[in-house]
Structure 1
Amino acid sequence: MTAPGPFFQFEADFVLGLRCIPMSVRRKLDDCGVKLKLEHWHRLAESERQWLVDQPCESDRERQAYREQLRTWTQRDWGEPAKDLPIDPQPAWLRPEIPEAVQTACHVLQIHLNPADWQALDPLQRFALIKLARPGHEHRNLYPALQEFGLADRSPESPPDV
Structure 2
Amino acid sequence: MTLFEFERDFAGSLRCIPMLARMKLDLCGIKLSLRQWSRFSHEERATLVDLPFENDADKEAYRALLLTLIETRTDEPARFLATDSFEEWEKAHTVPDIVATQAIRDGIREPTLLEWRNLTPLQRFSLVKLSRCSHENANFRPAMREFLGR
User: What TM-score does the superposition give when structure 2 sets the normalisation length?
Assistant: 0.91
CA contact (8 A) 1:102 1:133 kept: yes
1:103 aligns with 2:67: no
Return the alpha-carbon distance in structure 1 between the equivalents of residues 8 and 86 of structure 2: 30
Partner of 1:46: 42
For the pair shown, which has the larger CA radius of gyration, 1 or 2? 1
Worse-superposed segment, 37-46 or 112-121: 112-121
Runs of at least 4 residues of structure 1 off by over 2 A? 78-81, 135-138
Local SS of the residue matching 1:138: helix
Aligned to 1:116: 114
Q: Structure 1 residues 80 and 86 mapped into 2: Cα distance closer, same or farther (>3 Å)?
A: same
- Aligned partners of 1:67, 1:6: CA distance in 2, in Å? 19
CA contact (8 A) 1:70 1:82 kept: no
Match 1:23 to one of 19, 24, 27: 19
- Name the aligned partner's letter for residue 126 of structure 2: A
1:59 aligns with 2:55: yes
Partner of 1:85: 81
Gaps of 5+ in 2: none
Q: TM-score, normalised by structure 1?
A: 0.85
